[in-house]
Amino acid sequence: MTEPSVKGWCPGAHRPMISGDGLIVRIRPKLAQFSKNQLEEICRLSDIYGSGIVEITNRANLQLRGIDPRGHERLLDNLHQLDLLDRDLATEARRNIIITPDWVQGDLSEQITKEFYLRLSELPDLPAKFGFAVDLGRIPRLQNVSADIRIERTADGTLLVCPDGSDFGRAATTKTLVDCIIDVARWFNATGGHSAKRMRIHLTNEALPKAWDLIPRNPQNIPLHIGEISEGQIIGIPFGQCNYQDVLQLLNMSKAKTIRLTPWRSILLKDGKTIDTDRRFITCHKDPLLQINACPGQPMCQSATVETRPLARALAGKIKGKLHISGCSKGCARSKDADITLVGENGTFNLIQDGHAGDTPQKTGLTGPLILKTLDSL
The CATH number for 30's domain is 3.90.480.10
Read off the pLDDT of residues 49-83 as tens digits, 9 standing for 90 and up.
Answer: 999 999 999 999 999 999 999 999 999 999 999 99
Domain check: are 204 and 232 in the same one? no
pLDDT digit string, tens, across residues 299-313: 999 899 999 999 999
Q: Residue 248: pLDDT band by 50, 70, 90 thresholds?
A: very high
Has residue 276 been placed in a domain? no
**Per-residue confidence (pLDDT) for residue 276, from 0 to 100:** 85
| CB 33, CB 269: distance < 8 Å | no
Distance spanning both ends of the chain, measured CA to CA: 22
Binned at pLDDT 50, 70 and 90, residue 165 comes out as very high
The pLDDT of residue 119 is above 80: yes
Kindly state whether residues 257 and 350 are assigned to the same domain: no
**Does 7 map to a domain?**
no
200 in Cβ contact with 165 (< 8 Å): yes
Provide the pLDDT for residue 6: 41
How far is 375 from 351, CA to CA, in rounded Å? 9
β-partners of residue 261 are 267
User: Quick one: pLDDT at residue 9?
Assistant: 59
Q: Which long-range contacts (CB under 8 A, 24 or more apart) does 167-176 make?
A: 167/216, 167/217, 168/208, 168/214, 168/215, 168/216, 168/217, 169/214, 169/215, 169/217, 170/208, 170/212, 170/213, 170/214, 170/215, 171/213, 171/214, 171/215, 174/108, 174/111, 174/112
Q: Cα separation of 261 and 265, whole Å?
A: 7
* pLDDT tier, 2 (very low <50, low <70, confident <90, very high otherwise): very low
| pLDDT classification of 4: cutoffs 50, 70, 90 | very low
How much is the pLDDT for 146? 93
Per-residue burial over 25-35, b if 16 or more Cβ lie within 10 Å, else e, is bbbbbebbbbe
pLDDT tens column, 82-113: 999 988 888 888 999 999 999 999 999 999 99
- State whether residue 32 is helix, strand or coil: helix
Question: Which of residues 235, 270, 305 is at a domain's end?
Answer: 270
Predicted pLDDT at 1: 43
Say if residue 209 is in the same domain as residue 115.
yes
d(CA 118, CA 32): 16
Over 60: is that where the pLDDT of 360 sits?
yes
Q: Is residue 180 part of a domain?
A: yes
Share of the chain above pLDDT 70, in %: 98
Clarify whether residues 228 and 178 are in a common domain.
no
- Tell me what the mean pLDDT of segment 315-323 comes to: 92
Residues 229 and 210 in one domain: no
Same domain for 121 and 177, yes or no, is yes
Question: What pLDDT shows up at residue 5?
Answer: 42
Would residue 22 count as lying in a domain? Answer: yes
- Is residue 96, in this structure, part of any structural domain at all? no
Range of the domain at 197: 103-216
209 shares its domain with 163: yes
* Inside any domain, residue 12: no
Q: Is-contact 135 142, C-beta < 8 A?
A: yes
Q: Give the model confidence (pLDDT) of 331-340 as tens digits.
A: 989 988 999 9
Neighbours of 89 (CB within 10 A): 12
281 is a domain residue:
no
| More confident of the two residues 12 and 33 | 33
Asked if residue 208 and residue 116 are part of one domain, the reply reads yes
* Residue 275 φ/ψ, nearest 5 degrees: -95, 120
pLDDT reported for residue 32: 97
- Same domain for 330 and 364, yes or no, is yes
Least confident range from 271-275, 304-308, 349-353: namely 271-275
Q: What is the mean pLDDT of residues 196-217?
A: 95
How many domains does the chain contain in total?
A: 3
User: Given 170, 189, 216, which residue is the final one in a domain?
Assistant: 216
DSSP 107: S
Beta strand 323-326 with 338-345 is parallel
**277, pLDDT greater than 80:** no
Q: How far apart are CA 376 and CA 365, in angstroms?
A: 17
Burial per residue of 155-177, b for 16 or more beta-carbon CB atoms within 10 angstroms, e otherwise: eeebbbbbbbebeebbbbeeeeb
Domain co-membership, 230 together with 211: no
Q: What is the CA radius of gyration of the chain?
A: 21
Is residue 237 over pLDDT 90?
A: yes
Amino acid identity, position 366: L
Residues 311 and 369 in one domain: yes
Same-domain check for residues 112 and 192: yes
For a pLDDT cut of 90, what percent of the chain falls above it? 85
pTM: 0.91
Q: How many helices (H) and strands (E) does the chain have?
A: 10, 21
Residue 193 falls inside a structural domain: yes
